[in-house]
């Protein structure tokens, strides 16, 4: 294509420009091939008069700030510079970004008008998290509008950071004379329209305008000219969202109204606060029955650093962090990121703010442990991730025997720093269980092995837990650990009468020793469910949830009990509860989607599948070879019609499955819904070979309906004789 001399020079050196993608008041965008890196990019070239007004130094300084932003919902800047022609003439300033084939949010609005409420809230929350990341690094966007929000695989990506600020800085020089309009009138905050300094709260106002349009299908202020629109901003309040869309919840009406307040101080103080409010609203809307409330405060407990490098201290340090995590889970007013998610950042030198964004929490607890003989030094600090400062920190130099007191003191300090209000029952449940310190160390080793989630791990964990109870026969949680190991072994690897008997005995003993332990009740409920004592299992799991409403295992196992009984609507409610208390988990939304499929609730099933896929993508960034995440994600992708990626994930899951009967069972489901009946039966029979023994689950699984009527189906069910008791 024909280019200006300066762009000809740029293209020849660095880029092969394929075609023009679009142009606006400030720039022209081209689709280009980056010769050096072999990738397609969007090349944005500013208008010559704007380039002249900004100046190269100012432009590149601001672009460098924007290029430092690294966030899943921010379109990164690859490169920038200036292009001069062969003869003296205007300089063209330019920068490149990834080329995204998906539509912009403006395209979606043109195509669809208003969006479903849940989707609108989700997309805006993703943008809010991106802007919060930028604001905490001193970068304000200043031109948030649907055109600058791209959609990639259904996720929001904010583009064009780094341009509005230098443009605004140059306002009053030659830009006004050149006819440039700063910002977009339909989304511009009052203070920005008045020429005042635009800070993070200005971005908030603009994003609220976007949310309003997504919900209503029209902008909050309209008029015959840009001046008329701007005038309304100063003289009128925006109409209520519910006036244009009566089905909008009252809470959302209020959220938008606050974000659109004329005075910046009356809006939400930060994008983080706005995003958190939207998250609470979104959780409430997607819950079909009363579920644990999503609290306003949230925390991730990172694995504690091992100072000194001793392998025994490594297990001890990890165990201390996990003990604190398990204690904090008992506080209903606090959402705690799961151990799997938090411990993915072990030994990774990442910014606390970035970790908090990945785990969707406000605060992060980090610490270290140094051990010398019978002395330990524990340091801990609680960080406000949004603001980047310490809420609390302390160092403890104690005898090893004081480890339980240290844990209680740290927990109490966190509760105080976060201003949580606890019930007497919660305070009791959060207290560290005292035990012989030698037994405690064996218990930590056992739990470390059990987290491997494989046969050898459970077998090693059993040895450690049994050593713990030999030293301390009154150690309730060690007995609960023994019970859980036998239960998981029975479920996935060895459906023997002995595993069932041992799970029953150990869980009974755990409850005898500590009837106030949520973990003991959950272990007992799990064991009873495997023995088909469903009413008793329900009672124990209900007790576990009452003692610790945020205990994921209580809700998840309750859902499995309901599924095994064919009570699928109730199963859906409990899987929804599990997904609420652990929103980053990929498995619970997958189970939830299957339950909705079974009761023919197509809309909720699709939403749950999309949630499962999104969670799986994030999880696989941390654990790329995790078979369980892969096969759950593959099932959801196939249900959503995304065949190529579904097959790729299924193949990866099969390669990583080892002797995991659950992997083969779920892969059987995957092939069944895809019509590959032979592969389905191969995987299901393999699941039985390596220990799967749950006929009642097979009979109620809607994914396996395509196999019904095939002669191999009855043969498969017959293989459970003598296994499924």
- Give the residue numbers annotated as catalytic, written as ranges: 143
Which residues fall within 8 angstroms of residue 688, CB to CB, at 6 or more apart?
661, 716, 719, 720, 723
Exposed e or buried b for every residue in 313-328, given b needs 16+ CB within 10 A? Answer: bbbbbbbbbbbbbbbb
β-pairing, 15-23 with 27-34?
A: antiparallel
DSSP state letters, 456-483? HHHHHHHHHHHHHHHH-TT-HHHHHHHH
Separation of alpha carbons 215 and 252, rounded Å: 10
Residue 15 belongs to what H/E stretch? strand 15-23
DSSP 493: T
Separation of alpha carbons 319 and 403, rounded Å: 11
Q: What is the CA radius of gyration of the chain?
A: 28
Categorise residue 472: left if φ over 0, alpha if ψ from -120 to 50, beta otherwise: beta
Separation of alpha carbons 211 and 438, rounded Å: 57
β-pairing, 334-336 with 297-301?
A: parallel
Separation of alpha carbons 382 and 390, rounded Å: 6
Neighbours of 705 (CB within 10 A): 12
Q: If you count them, how many residues does the chain have?
A: 725
Q: How far is CA 574 from CA 118, 217, 603, 696, in A?
A: 21, 35, 18, 18
Torsion of CA 654, 656, 658, 663, to 10 degrees: -50
Through-space distance between the first and last CA atoms of the chain, rounded to whole angstroms: 73
| Nearest of 133, 547, 581, 122 to residue 337 by alpha carbon | 581
Which residues fall within 8 angstroms of residue 526, CB to CB, at 6 or more apart?
483, 484, 487, 503, 507, 537, 553, 557
377, burial (CB in 10 Å: exposed 0-12, middle 13-18, buried 19+): middle
| Nearest of 314, 440, 310, 296 to residue 362 by alpha carbon | 296
Separation of alpha carbons 135 and 615, rounded Å: 25
**CA angle, 151 as apex, 148 and 157 as ends, to 5°?**
55
Asked if 365 contacts 382 with a C-beta cutoff of 8 angstroms, the reply is yes
Q: How far is CA 722 from CA 268, 384, 693, 716, in A?
A: 62, 55, 9, 13
Contacts of range 487-491, beta carbons closer than 8 Å, 24 or more positions apart? 487/523, 487/526, 487/527, 487/530, 488/453, 488/458, 489/455, 489/458, 489/459, 490/530, 490/693, 491/530, 491/662, 491/693, 491/694
Asked if 190 contacts 234 with a C-beta cutoff of 8 angstroms, the reply is yes
CA 591 and chain centroid, separation: 17
DSSP 221: S
Helices (H), 329-371: 339-342, 352-359
Which residues fall within 8 angstroms of residue 415, CB to CB, at 6 or more apart?
331, 422, 430
């Amino acid at each position: 294509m024909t280019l200006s001399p300066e762009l000809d020079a740029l293209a020849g050196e660095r880029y092969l420009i394929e075609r023009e993608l679009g142009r606006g008041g400030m720039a022209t965008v081209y689709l280009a091939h980056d010769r050096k890196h072999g990738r397609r990019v969007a090349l944005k070239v500013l208008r010559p008069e704007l380039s002249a007004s900004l100046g190269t130094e100012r432009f590149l300084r601001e672009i460098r700030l924007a290029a430092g932003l690294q966030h899943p919902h921010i379109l990164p800047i690859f490169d920038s510079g200036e292009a001069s022609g062969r003869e003296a003439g205007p300089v063209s300033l330019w920068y490149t970004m990834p080329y995204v084939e998906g539509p912009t949010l403006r395209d979606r609005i043109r195509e669809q008008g208003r969006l479903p409420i849940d989707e609108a809230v989700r997309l805006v929350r993703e943008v809010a998290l991106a802007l919060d990341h930028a604001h905490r690094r001193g970068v304000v966007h200043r031109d948030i509008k649907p055109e600058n929000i791209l959609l990639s695989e259904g996720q929001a990506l904010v583009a064009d950071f780094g341009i509005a600020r230098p443009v605004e800085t140059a306002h009053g020089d030659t830009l006004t004379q050149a006819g440039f309009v700063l910002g977009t009138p339909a989304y511009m905050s009052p203070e920005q329209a008045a020429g005042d300094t635009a800070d993070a709260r200005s971005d908030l106002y603009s994003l609220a305008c976007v949310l309003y349009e997504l919900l209503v299908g029209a902008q909050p202020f309209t008029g015959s000219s840009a001046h008329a629109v701007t005038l309304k901003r100063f003289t009128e309040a925006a109409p209520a969202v519910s006036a244009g869309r009566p089905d909008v919840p009252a809470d959302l009406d209020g959220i938008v109204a606050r974000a659109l307040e004329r005075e910046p101080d009356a809006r939400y103080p930060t994008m983080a606060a706005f995003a958190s409010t939207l998250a609470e609203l979104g959780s409430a809307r997607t819950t079909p029955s009363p579920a644990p409330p999503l609290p306003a405060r949230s925390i991730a407990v990172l694995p504690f650093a091992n100072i000194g490098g001793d392998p025994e201290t490594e297990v001890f340090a990890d165990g201390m962090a996990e003990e604190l995590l398990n204690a904090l889970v008992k506080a209903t007013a606090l959402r705690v990121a799961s151990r799997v998610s938090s411990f993915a950042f072990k030994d990774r030198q990442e910014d606390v703010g970035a970790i908090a964004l990945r785990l969707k929490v406000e605060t992060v607890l980090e610490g270290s442990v140094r051990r010398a003989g019978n002395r330990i030094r524990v340091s801990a600090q609680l960080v406000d991730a949004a603001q980047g400062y310490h809420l609390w920190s302390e160092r403890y130099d104690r005898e090893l025997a004081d480890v339980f007191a240290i844990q209680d003191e740290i927990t109490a300090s966190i509760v105080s720093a976060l201003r949580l209000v606890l019930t007497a029952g919660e305070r009791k449940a959060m207290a560290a269980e005292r035990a012989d310190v030698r037994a405690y160390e064996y218990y930590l080793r056992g739990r470390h092995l059990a987290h491997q989630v494989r046969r050898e791990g459970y077998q090693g964990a059993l040895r450690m837990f049994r050593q713990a109870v030999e030293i301390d026969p009154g150690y309730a949680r060690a007995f609960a650990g023994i019970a859980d190991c036998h239960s998981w072994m029975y479920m996935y690897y060895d459906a023997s009468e002995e595993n069932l008997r041992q799970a029953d005995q150990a869980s009974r003993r755990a409850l005898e020793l500590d009837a106030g332990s949520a973990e003991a009740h959950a272990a007992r409920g799990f064991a009873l469910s495997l023995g088909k004592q469903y009413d008793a299992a329900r009672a124990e799991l209900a007790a576990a949830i009452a003692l610790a409403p945020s205990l994921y295992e209580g809700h998840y196992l309750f859902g499995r009990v309901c599924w095994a009984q064919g009570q699928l609507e109730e199963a859906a409610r409990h899987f929804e509860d599990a997904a609420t208390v652990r929103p980053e988990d990929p498995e619970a939304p997958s189970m939830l989607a299957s339950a909705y499929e079974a009761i023919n609730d197509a809309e909720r099933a699709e939403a749950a599948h999309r949630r499962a896929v999104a969670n799986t993508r994030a999880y696989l960034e941390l654990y790329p070879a995790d078979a369980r995440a892969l096969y759950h994600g593959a099932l959801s992708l196939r249900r959503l019609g995304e065949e190529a990626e579904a097959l790729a994930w299924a193949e990866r899951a099969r390669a990583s499955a080892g002797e995991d009967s659950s992997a083969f069972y779920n892969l059987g489901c995957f092939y069944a819904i895809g019509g590959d009946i032979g592969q389905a039966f191969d995987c299901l029979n393999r699941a039985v070979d390596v220990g799967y023994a749950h006929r009642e689950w097979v009979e109620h699984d809607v994914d396996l309906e395509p196999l019904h009527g095939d002669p191999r189906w009855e043969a498969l069910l017959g293989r459970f004789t003598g296994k499924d008791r």
